[in-house]
Structure 1
Amino acid sequence: MATEVKVPVLGESITEATLGEWLKKPGEAVQADEPIASLETDKVSVEVPSPVAGVMGEWAVKVGDTVEVGAMIATIEAGDGSAAAKPAAAPAAAPAATAGQQAPAQPSSDTPAALSPSVRRAVLETGVDPSNLKGTGKDGRLTKDDVLAAKPAPAPAAAPLPVAPSVAAATGRKEERVRMTRLRQTIAKRLKDAQNTAAMLTTFNDVDMTAVIEARAKYKDLFEKKHGVRLGFMGFFVKAATMALKDIPSVNASIEGDEIVYHDYADISVAVSSPGGLVVPVIRDADQMSVATIEKTIGDFGKRAKDGTLKMDEMKGGTFTISNGGVFGSLMSTPIINPPQAAVLGLHRIDERPVVVNGQVVVRPMMYLALSYDHRLIDGREAVTFLVALKNAIEDPTRILIDL
């Protein structure tokens, strides 16, 4: 008797998703709760587990199809998969392989079920046997980089046969059309909606990073030994931002209809990269956290965004966003607000530049700061005051310690 596999509940207000990848083929053995497919929602990838143990039945939808919550996408047949594991060798009438011929290779049964979607995809693309690899991720789990590093070197290419030249080969002009993922479509829509709705404006300042760099260099080894995480710059900026938000509450507010909602807490959305695009998980109650706890949380978000294992609940809400384009080499930018938030802080790369200090020209590590804000809610004085408060805290980190 076949058991239907249906699209699970995906979260509040999310009614449909796109089938991103099948993780099991028809005829393969499946364990209860083992992921058989990966769905792409507006925010994250979600794995669909098998409700029972058995054999993977027929697929009801194709990769790229849109499916609604509760819709059937496949069936699980009764059995243990032993008969399906050797479809080519079972029939008695099948002729023996002749000399110089080999039977088709069977799919490896050693692939761990716990692999994330991005790691499974890398395994399929490279042909690497994951059972022979040592994982470098948390609790020894395999990462995409582990699989790519074990990819065998390609064999020397044989000399191509002469063919008639095509127009594309002659001109070197090629095109590739790739359908936008649901995540990329949502990002595009939300960012354009933000431009169309908010009266968006950006103000700039720069900050001398000398004190933070010196503190990091002095304490990074002790910090990592005690807390098990590297001391970066984001911990300082998140903590400094939460202090500035208390001083200028309108930057931490939002507009709902004809009302302004002020928040007495700071849930900081931190923009991180994922294989499908930029995602913004939320550090809840960041104003109550230590720098060490903030660094641990950001590190965990970054790793799970790369593996595609962030949860949708972790990306809901947020009262203020910090986007660090400096890790990619950005000198200056005008970040776009993440609705319904009223402001977003953009960080950039650190460059040594000549500045005047106490009447003397000196070289200092400087960073440009950009605050994009909704002018319907935040006026210029408040935006500039926020950036100055942030600048003061970073240039004198003692202010963060004594909440000044």
Structure 2
Amino acid sequence: MPIEVILPKVDMDMETGTIEAWHVKEGDQVRQGDTIFEIGTNKAVMEVEAPATGAIRNIRAETGVPISVGTPVAWIYLDGEAATAPSEPAAAAATESLARIDAPIAQAIAIPPTASGLRATPLARRIARQNGLDLNTVAGTGPRGRIGEADVKRQLQQRPCCAPQDTASAPVPAVNASQGRLQPFSAIRRIVANRLSESVRTAPHFYLTSEIEMSAARELLGRLARRHERIEAPKPSLTVLIARVAARILRDHPVINASAEGEATRFHERIDIGIAMERDGDLVVPVLRDAGGMDMPAMTREFARLREGMAKRTLTPAELGGGTFTISNLGMYGVDSFTAIINPPQGAILAVGRTVDKPVGRDGEIVLRPMASFTLSSDHRIVDGVAAARFMADLREALESPEILL
């Protein structure tokens, strides 16, 4: 009998999902492990793989329409099976099929070849599809000739700018000679747009900015780098140091680590800090779980793991959602200061600008000191001005004397 393809549950609190894009069409031959569609939740977009080898038939789900978890969206017919319309799935068959694809799907693992014998990672397939590149023209350098992200990007760099592109499987941007190019939102961009629009509509933001001297923090980072080298831990970054300091002082400021929940405030027992990152022009926020219980080596290792997983698209929705506080550092891009939009339902987000030498007054003299701008955006429904000001005062003290907390 045909194998059901069911909308999987890729997050603990997920009840519905949306198919953002089908990678196959009616009648296509697929092999077990091939990416067949992308599923969007309120946290991330994941790729779902075929649970069996055969022909895709009876595709029922449309893109962009919310679907309940466990709903059959298509069937895979094995070789020799008649392609008839299946009856409603029995509970046992649904449970069996769901078990095969219910686990969070890794997005950049090696997958079996397609019917044509082509081997490529899902990330390589996505980049090729978005750029109209035929993967049959790409030489894979991975195990057994598997095509990876670097192989696709190398081929794109070598492709003439005027080469025709096969855009049958990708959204076609509308072009107007007088108004420029119209590019549809990516699935992740739609999620970000919806969440941040919700935040602006529902959360009354207010902002506090402090200029903090970074001399002690810079010196400490140098010493930590030498220590981490001895214990074979990754080199610590300023972002990790700020996350470590914030995690410690949030213990004394539970309202800054809280979330709005209806007409109530949810005080979290754990401190889970999201770190805003950029990936291919999209915003993603991996979360340092239980950041308050980590030391610097552990936090540095976890940050490096999340950053690598973000780049390779192997992070699950559970690693991209559920934070209690967020840090967004744009200082490495030369940004002096900025205000950030709160990631709902969190109550606050910390925006970090670049560190630059500025003249400041010290002991009656004007001296140059490395200064950085920190701006806290708070949800005024749960955070008052004085509470935010006290947090910023403790943040200043901690960063100007970080060894007190470390």
What TM-score comes out, normalization by structure 2 length?
0.76
- Listed as ranges, the matches of 1:353-364 within 5 Å are 353-364=358-369
Q: Which residue of 1 aligns with 2:100?
A: none
- Larger displacement relative to structure 2 (141-150 or 68-77): 141-150
Question: How do 1:92-241 and structure 2 match up within 5 A?
Answer: 109-112=117-120, 115-116=121-122, 118-123=123-128, 125=131, 126-127=133-134, 132-134=140-142, 144-145=149-150, 147-149=152-154, 151=156, 153-155=158-160, 173-224=178-229, 226-241=231-246
Partner of 1:316: 321
The structure that has the greater radius of gyration is 1
Quick one: structure 1 residues 342 and 360, their matched pair in 2 at CA, closer, same or farther if it must change by over 3 Å? same
Contact 2:29 2:115 in 1 (8 A): no
Please give the alpha-carbon distance, in whole angstroms, between the structure 2 residues aligned to 1:146 and 1:225: 35
CA distance in 2, matches of 1:261, 1:107: 51
AA matched with 1:132: G
Q: Name 1:94's counterpart in structure 2.
A: none
Aligned residue pairs: how many?
Answer: 357
> Is residue 205–residue 369 contact of structure 1 (8 Å, CA) maintained in 2?
yes
TM-score scaled to structure 1, two decimals? 0.76
Deviation at 1:198, TM superposition (A): 2.5
Q: Which residue of 2 aligns with 1:274?
A: 279
Q: Distance in 2 between matches of 1:36 and 1:157?
A: 30
Aligned counterparts of 2:26 and 2:219: Cα–Cα separation in 1: 55
C-alpha displacement at 1:362, in angstroms?
2.3
> In the TM superposition, what whole-angstrom CA distance separates every residue of 1:355-386 from its partner, at most 9, and x where no partner exists?
22223322222210000112233222221221
What is the distance in 2 between the residues matched to 1:209 and 1:142?
Answer: 44
Of the structure 1 ranges 58-67 and 203-212, higher mean CA displacement relative to structure 2 is found in 58-67
1:142 CA drift (Å): 7.4
- Over 3 Å counting, the alpha-carbon distance change for 1:75 and 1:200 in structure 2 is same
**Residues 133 and 146 of structure 1 are in contact (CA less than 8 Å); yes or no, is this contact kept in structure 2?**
yes
- 1:205 is displaced (CA, Å) by 0.3
Matching of residues 1-400 of structure 1 within 5 Å: 1-11=1-11, 12-22=13-23, 26-31=27-32, 33-52=33-52, 54-58=53-57, 60=59, 64-66=63-65, 68-69=67-68, 70-79=70-79, 109-112=117-120, 115-116=121-122, 118-123=123-128, 125=131, 126-127=133-134, 132-134=140-142, 144-145=149-150, 147-149=152-154, 151=156, 153-155=158-160, 173-224=178-229, 226-275=231-280, 277-400=282-405
Give 2:216's aligned amino acid: A
Q: How far is 1:323 from its partner?
A: 1.3
Q: SS of the counterpart of 2:47?
A: strand
1:40 to partner: Cα distance: 2.9
Task: Measure the CA separation in 1 of the matches of 2:317 and 2:281.
Answer: 14
**Larger CA deviation: 58-67 vs 250-259:** 58-67
* Aligned residues: CA RMSD: 3.4
Q: Is the 8 A contact 2:398 2:404 kept in 1?
A: yes
1:68 counterpart letter in structure 2: I
**Secondary structure of the corresponding residue to residue 250 of structure 1:** coil
